[in-house]
């Protein structure tokens, strides 16, 4: 059974079609990178899948069922830029927010939830910052807290929107180690990624997106020079080992 | 209870209710929306009056809630059609307010006085209009209303505490967790409307804005914990109410305006001297960034 | 008002229009509306539409204090007092926003209500101690253009021309300053003086407009005509012109309507006329009006379904806006 099955998905943004006939399937236990140029619809894709953005056409199935039924098995790490960092809260609190869906209405988080949150922070190496106000954390630390918040949901399928953007090298390593660990435990992760140079290093599968799916599959098969050019329209410079450099199209 | 005591109690109730709601207004960046609602409830009240020909509390409350919701809905609608957020608020509230004033000018009796009253309020008149309540006896109507509203506010914040927290901090995540972000937003707008109208009689439209925003802003500069912020905000609201009364008694002037001014003083004090997030705080500790 | 025959009503309207005092008043609200329309465009693109609301409320204590100092209603000095007070408010908003975690909307709300509260405190004291003369002060709250005399109007004419001159002569500079301040800075445009000039012109417009529309509704005149103009054009220049026309029209027509009733304040009527123009613009405007959009949307949907139904779509070859 496919963990995620997308068929003919389309979405619009301000009267422009940004996703067109997107179709692909994701298998369990894979780590997929979603890449494409700016405006290719990568963020919109995730938002549309999670019904945070309206779709024009298409069908999406999670674990063979609908989003509503499977919500508890899905974790989401949105872009860091959408949050108010001056909000009066600390790292532990932020992680506990990931459990609010599980805790339900009218109940407050209890000791067990707190422990879960601390464990998640521990996994991301942020345990000592638990009571630190979030505005005092660096970009990398904030991202780790966000990841901890996703981990605490103990989901089977994770969506992450540019989790490595603007983080330091150590954080990047820590995050990728966590994703690998998730994969080894049979979880599935889809990541919107911004850096072409590291795709084959980090992801076993890749989805090349430019308004529609240019190609999708195993990185070693699909992440080729030709496919990259087709995705980016030739407007990039890409160098890998001895392969030729793509010339920017004017 | 004595005349003065009722006035003080009413003022304190305003301070606490507005202070609590104000915390979320600030954090959700809806300060100007509160300004808008405090003006448009006038239209709601006028329509309720014209429809029922009575000045009793309940229809006015309904009118106010309707006005508050309508404001939020219109603003959102305009915003979704490409008008900037600020401008949307500006268009909606000035238009609805103008309509309210015109309705009062052309149909009701003494124009100036009524509008002035709605805008400026006059807490000094509160103790005269009373109702009979079981157990408590004779209670001014406005005070009773405020008491009920305070209970509603406390319940709303208490029952949905974590939902307010998460929808304020990260609506995207909240939505993905299945929390009804839009519903909570509209519920919040209702709370703002209800609190505003209950405070009307006491402090009038424009000063409600002061009580809604300023104590919460002052509290924001003293703490990094949401719960403390709520408590402090209520405390500053109370202090503003009491200090305002004192100033008004001293200068023989409008109590509600003095309350607004007093809240400003507390804010300025916090802005300058809070060792946590005030200017003093910035001077005392260098900017520290964890490694 | 009720029970008058058609001709009688017509006569009174004519009478209004022919009265020289009303003509002066009409002229002044026309000018005011025009200047507000212009400045409103600048404020809109600077994303500071509601700042004018905060500043106009902040002007009240200045007006009252000036009155308390000089003892009678001297328009120029009152305007000066209003301007100083509003500028102080503007500075405070900036300071609080920059020096603390308080965001701009909260800072505006604080200045707006606290300053206004101070103004009312002082106004109440004035109303208790002074008799007769202070009647004019109340008109600042809702506007009472009818209390203006010829001398006042002449001064307003001058000030309005100043505002218009500022906007028109520096048109290209405003365009750049508003749309791309970073680039403007890069080519050497002095941003701080531009900001100061902008604030100066804004405050000038506000303190003049307060007399016609009052403190509370002043922001309406700065916001509504500008927003209405957006539905008819995409050009900055044409937007300014259209906005001025809408503003001027609102001022004039609103004043005429308010003159029909005894003691009706001018402010709300001017705002309602402006709002009427806005509704017309939003429905029928050629640029983003509801009608046009419905037609476009239908076309878009057809396009989307069409290209999806047809053969494989081609990816974008150029970077688009995300």
- Across the interface, whether the CB atoms of C142 and B206 are under 8 A apart is answered no
**What integer best gives the mean pLDDT of chain B?**
85
Selecting from A90, A97, A106 the residue whose C-beta is nearest the C-beta of B166 gives: A97
What separation in angstroms does the CA of C37 have from each of A148, B23, B48? Answer: 51, 35, 34
For residue C196, count other CB atoms closer than 10 A to its CB.
11
Residue C287 has pLDDT above 80, yes or no: no
Q: What distances in angstroms separate CA C295 from CA C289, C298, C301, one per listed residue?
A: 10, 5, 10
Query: Taking the model in full, what pTM does it have?
Result: 0.82
Q: Which residues of C touch A17 (CB under 8 A)?
A: 303-304, 307
Question: Are the beta carbons of B35 and C109 separated by less than 8 Å?
Answer: yes
Question: What confidence score (pLDDT) does residue C10 get?
Answer: 42
Domains of chain A: residue spans and CATH: 4-82+156-232 (3.40.50.300)
Lowest mean pLDDT among A24-28, A237-241, C34-38, C216-220: A237-241
C315 — contact with chain A (CB < 8 Å)?
A: yes
Residue A216 has pLDDT above 70, yes or no: yes
Please report all neighbours of C, defined by 3+ CB atom pairs within 8 A. Answer: A, B
Kindly state the helix (H) or strand (E) to which residue B275 belongs, with its residue range. Answer: none
Rg (CA), chain C: 23
- Which residues in chain C are contacts of B95 at CB distance < 8 A? 220, 224, 271-272, 275, 278
Whole-number pLDDT of residue C311: 40
Considering chain A, what is the average pLDDT of its residues? Answer: 86
Are the beta carbons of B177 and B9 closer than 8 angstroms? Answer: no
- Give the number of other Cβ atoms within 10 Å of residue C18's Cβ: 9
As a residue count, chain B comes to 291
User: How many angstroms separate the CA atoms of B151 and A125, rounded?
Assistant: 43
What token pair was written down for C17?
């229009």
- For the cut 60, the answer to whether the pLDDT of residue A35 exceeds it is yes
CB-based contact B115:C263 (threshold 8 Å): no
The pLDDT of residue A196 is above 50: yes
What are the Cα distances from residue C158, in Å, to A147, B225, C32, C175, C200?
62, 54, 11, 25, 15
Sheet holding A57-62, edge to edge: A16-26, A4-13, A57-62
Q: Which of the other chains make 3 or more beta carbon contacts under 8 angstroms with chain B?
A: A, C
Given a cut of 60, whether residue A233 has pLDDT beyond it is yes
Chain-chain contact of C315 with A231 (C-beta, under 8 angstroms): yes
Sign of the alpha-carbon dihedral angle for A41, A44, A49, A54: negative
CB < 8 Å from C in window 90-149 of B = 90-91, 94-95, 97-99, 101-102, 105-106, 111-112, 115, 119-120
Q: Are B94 and C219 in contact (CB < 8 Å)?
A: yes
Residue C321: pLDDT band with limits 50, 70, 90: very low
pLDDT digits (tens, 9 = 90+) for C89-135: 999 999 999 999 999 999 999 999 999 999 989 988 888 776 545 55
Q: Which two tokens stand for residue A248?
A: 């920017």
Radius of gyration, alpha carbons of chain B = 19
Q: Name which of A20, A234, A235 is nearest C313 (Cβ-Cβ).
A: A20
A12 touching C, CB under 8 A? yes
Domain B3-208 is classified in which CATH homologous superfamily? ABC transporter involved in vitamin B12 uptake, BtuC (1.10.3470.10)
pLDDT at B275 over 60: yes
CB A25 within 8 A of CB A32: no
SS3 label, residue A170? helix
Q: What is the ipTM of this complex?
A: 0.89
What's the pLDDT tens digit per position in A3-22?
A: 999 999 999 887 788 898 99
* Chain C 244-303, residues with CB within 8 Å of chain B CB atoms: 261, 263-265, 267-269, 271-272, 275, 278, 282, 288, 293
**Partner-chain contact C110 B259, CB within 8 Å:** no
Alpha carbon distance C301, A107 (integer Å):
45
Please report the residues numbered 260 through 299 in chain C whose beta carbons come closer than 8 angstroms to any beta carbon of chain A.
296-297
Whether the CB-CB separation of C46 and C176 falls below 8 Å is answered with: no
Q: In chain B, where do the E strands start and end?
A: 130-133, 137-140
Under an 8 A CB cutoff, do A39 and C322 touch? yes
Q: Which residue has the higher pLDDT, A3 or C142?
A: A3
Q: Summarize pLDDT for B205-255 with one digit per residue, the tens.
A: 778 999 999 999 999 999 999 999 999 999 999 999 999 999 999 998 888
Strand partners, A65: A62
The contacts of residue A86 (CB under 8 Å, 6+ apart) are A135, C101, C103
Chain C residues touching A227 at Cβ < 8 A: none
Q: State the nearest Cα–Cα gap between A69 and chain B, in angstroms.
A: 11
Q: Name the residue with higher pLDDT: B201 or A173.
A: A173
List CB contacts (< 8 A) between C300 and chain A: 12, 15
Domains of chain C (ranges plus CATH)?
Answer: 15-308 (1.10.3470.10)
**A31 DSSP β-pair partners:** A189
B252 vs C: CB within 8 A:
yes
How confident is the model over B129-165, as pLDDT tens digits? Answer: 677 777 777 788 788 889 999 999 999 999 999 999 9
Residue A141 sits at the chain B interface (C-beta within 8 Å): yes
| Average of per-residue pLDDT across C129-156 | 68
Strands A74-77 and A57-62: unpaired
User: B101 vs chain C: nearest CA distance in angstroms?
Assistant: 7
Mean pLDDT confidence for C186-192: 81
Return all residues near C155 (Cβ < 8 A) that are at least 6 apart: C75, C76
For residue A193, the surrounding DSSP H or E stretch is: none
d(CA A20, CA C315): 9
Q: Are C296 and C288 in contact (CB under 8 A)?
A: no
pLDDT interval class at C235 (50, 70, 90): confident
Q: What is the mean pLDDT of residues B87-111?
A: 80
Q: Please report, rounded to a whole number, the percentage of residues in chain A having pLDDT higher than 90.
A: 44
Compute, in degrees rounded to 10, the torsion defined by CA atoms A129, A135, A141, A144.
90
3-state SS record for chain C: CCCCCHHHHHHHHHHHHHCHHHHHHHHHHHHHHHHHHHHHHHHHHCCCCCHHHHHHHHHHHHHHHHHHHHCCCCHHHHHHHHHHHHHHHHHHHHHHHHHCCCCHHHHHHHHHHHHHHHHHHHHHHHHHHCCCCCHHHHHHHHCCHHHCCHHHHHHHHHHHHHHHHHHHHCHHHHHHHHHCHHHHHHCCCCHHHHHHHHHHHHHHHHHHHHHHHHHHHHHHHHHHHHHHHCCCCCCHHHHHHHHHHHHHHHHHHHHHHHHCCCCCCHHHHHHHHHHHHHHHHHHHCCCCCHHHHHHHHHHHHHHHHHHHHCCCCCCCCCCCCC
**Residue B160 near residue B114 (C-beta atoms within 8 A):** no
Question: What integer pLDDT is reported at residue B38 of this predicted model?
Answer: 84
In chain B, residues with a C-beta closer than 8 Å to the C-beta of C106 are 26, 29, 31, 213, 217
B207 vs C117, C125, C142: nearest CB:
C117
Q: Which of C105, C138, C293 sits opposite B29 (nearest CB)?
A: C105
Determine what percent of chain A is predicted with pLDDT higher than 70: 93
Nearest CA in chain C to A41: C322
Half-sphere exposure of C157 (CA within 13 A, CB side): 11
> Residue range A192-204: average pLDDT?
90
Nearest to B288 among A87, A88, A136 (CB): A136
Q: Which residues pair with A57 in a beta bridge?
A: A10
pLDDT for the residue C312: 42
As to burial, measured by CB atoms within 10 angstroms (0-12 exposed, 13-18 middle, 19+ buried), residue C185 is middle
> Domain coordinates of chain B in residue numbers?
3-208
Q: Which residue of C has its CA nearest to B206?
A: C113
Q: How far is B134 from chain C (nearest CA, A)?
A: 37
**Facing residue for C272 by CB, picked from B35, B98, B220:** B98
């Amino acid at each position: 059974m496919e963990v995620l099955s997308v068929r003919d998905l389309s979405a619009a943004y301000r009267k422009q079609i940004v996703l067109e006939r997107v179709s692909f399937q994701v298998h369990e236990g894979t780590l997929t990178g979603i890449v494409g140029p700016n405006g290719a619809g990568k963020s919109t894709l995730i938002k549309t899948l999670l019904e945070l953005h309206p779709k024009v056409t298409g069908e999406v199935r999670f674990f063979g069922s609908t989003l509503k039924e499977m919500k508890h098995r899905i974790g989401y790490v949105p872009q860091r830029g959408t949050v108010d960092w001056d909000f009066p809260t600390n790292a532990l609190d932020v992680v506990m927010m990931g459990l609010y869906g599980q805790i339900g209405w009218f109940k407050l988080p209890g000791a067990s939830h707190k422990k879960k949150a601390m464990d998640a922070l521990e996994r991301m190496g942020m345990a000592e910052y638990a009571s630190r106000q979030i505005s005092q954390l660096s970009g990398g630390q904030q991202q780790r807290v966000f990841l901890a918040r996703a981990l605490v949901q103990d989901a089977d399928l994770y969506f992450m929107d540019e989790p490595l953007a603007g983080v330091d090298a150590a954080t990047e390593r820590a995050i990728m180690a966590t994703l690998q660990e998730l994969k080894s435990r049979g979880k599935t992760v889809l990541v919107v990624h911004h850096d072409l140079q590291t795709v084959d290093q980090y992801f076993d599968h890749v989805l090349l997106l430019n308004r529609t799916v240019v190609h999708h599959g195993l990185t070693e098969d699909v992440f080729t020079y030709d496919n990259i050019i087709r995705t980016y329209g030739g407007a990039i410079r890409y160098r890998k080992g001895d392969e030729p450099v793509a010339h920017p199209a004017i | 209870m004595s005349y003065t005591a009722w006035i003080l109690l009413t003022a304190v109730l305003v301070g606490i209710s507005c202070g609590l709601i104000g915390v979320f207004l600030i954090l959700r960046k809806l300060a100007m929306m509160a300004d808008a609602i405090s003006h448009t409830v006038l239209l709601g009240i006028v329509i309720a009056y014209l429809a029922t020909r009575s000045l009793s509390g309940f229809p006015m409350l309904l009118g106010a809630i309707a006005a508050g919701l309508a404001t939020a809905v219109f603003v959102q609608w305009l915003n979704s059609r490409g008008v900037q957020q600020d401008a949307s608020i500006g268009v909606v509230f000035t238009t609805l307010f103008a309509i309210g004033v015109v309705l009062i000018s052309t149909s009701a009796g003494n124009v100036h006085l009524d509008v002035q009253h709605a805008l400026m309020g006059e807490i000094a008149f509160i103790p005269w209009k009373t109702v009979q309540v079981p157990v408590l006896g004779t209670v001014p109507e406005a005070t009773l209303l405020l008491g009920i509203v305070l209970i509603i506010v406390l319940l709303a914040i208490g029952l949905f505490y974590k939902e307010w927290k998460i929808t304020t901090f990260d609506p995207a995540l909240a939505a993905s967790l299945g929390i009804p972000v839009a519903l909570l937003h509209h519920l919040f707008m209702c709370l703002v409307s209800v609190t505003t109208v209950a405070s009307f009689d006491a402090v009038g439209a424009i000063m409600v804005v002061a009580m809604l925003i300023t104590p919460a802003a002052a509290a924001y500069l003293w703490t990094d914990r949401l719960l403390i912020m709520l408590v402090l905000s209520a405390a500053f609201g109370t202090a503003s109410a009491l200090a305002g009364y004192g100033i008004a008694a001293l200068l023989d002037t409008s109590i509600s305006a003095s309350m607004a001014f007093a809240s400003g003083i507390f804010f300025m004090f916090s802005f300058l001297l809070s060792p946590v997030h005030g200017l003093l705080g910035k001077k005392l500790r260098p900017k520290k960034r964890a490694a | 008002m009720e029970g008058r025959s058609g001709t009688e009503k017509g006569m009174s309207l004519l009478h209004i229009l022919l009265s020289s005092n009303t003509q002066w008043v009409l002229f002044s609200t026309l000018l005011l509306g025009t200047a507000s329309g212009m400045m409103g465009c600048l404020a809109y693109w600077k994303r500071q539409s509601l700042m004018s609301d905060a500043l106009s409320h902040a002007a009240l204590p200045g007006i009252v204090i000036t009155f308390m100092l000089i003892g009678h209603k001297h328009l120029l000095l009152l305007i000066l007092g209003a301007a100083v007070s509003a500028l102080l408010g503007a500075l405070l908003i900036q300071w609080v926003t920059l020096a603390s975690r308080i965001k701009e909307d909260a800072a505006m709300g604080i200045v707006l209500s606290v300053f206004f509260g101070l103004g009312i405190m002082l106004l109440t004291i004035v109303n208790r101690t002074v008799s007769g003369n202070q009647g004019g002060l109340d008109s600042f709250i809702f506007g009472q253009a009818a209390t203006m005399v010829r001398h006042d109007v002449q001064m307003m004419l001058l000030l309005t021309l100043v505002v218009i001159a500022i906007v028109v002569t520096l048109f290209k500079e405003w365009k750049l300053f508003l749309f791309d301040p970073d680039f403007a800075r890069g080519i050497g445009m002095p941003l701080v003086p531009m900001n100061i000039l902008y604030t100066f012109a804004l405050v000038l417009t506000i303190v003049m407009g307060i007399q016609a529309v009052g403190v509370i509704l002043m922001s309406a005149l700065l916001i509504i005509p500008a927003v209405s103009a957006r539905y008819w054009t995409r050009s900055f220049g044409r937007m300014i012109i259209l906005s001025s026309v809408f503003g001027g029209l609102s001022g004039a027509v609103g004043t005429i309507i308010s003159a029909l009733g005894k003691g009706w304040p001018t402010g709300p009527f001017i705002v309602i006329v402006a709002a009427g123009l806005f509704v017309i613009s939003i429905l029928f405007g050629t640029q983003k009006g509801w009608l046009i959009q419905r037609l476009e949307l239908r076309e878009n949907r057809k396009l989307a379904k069409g290209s999806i139904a047809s053969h494989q779509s081609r990816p974008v070859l150029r970077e688009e806006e995300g």
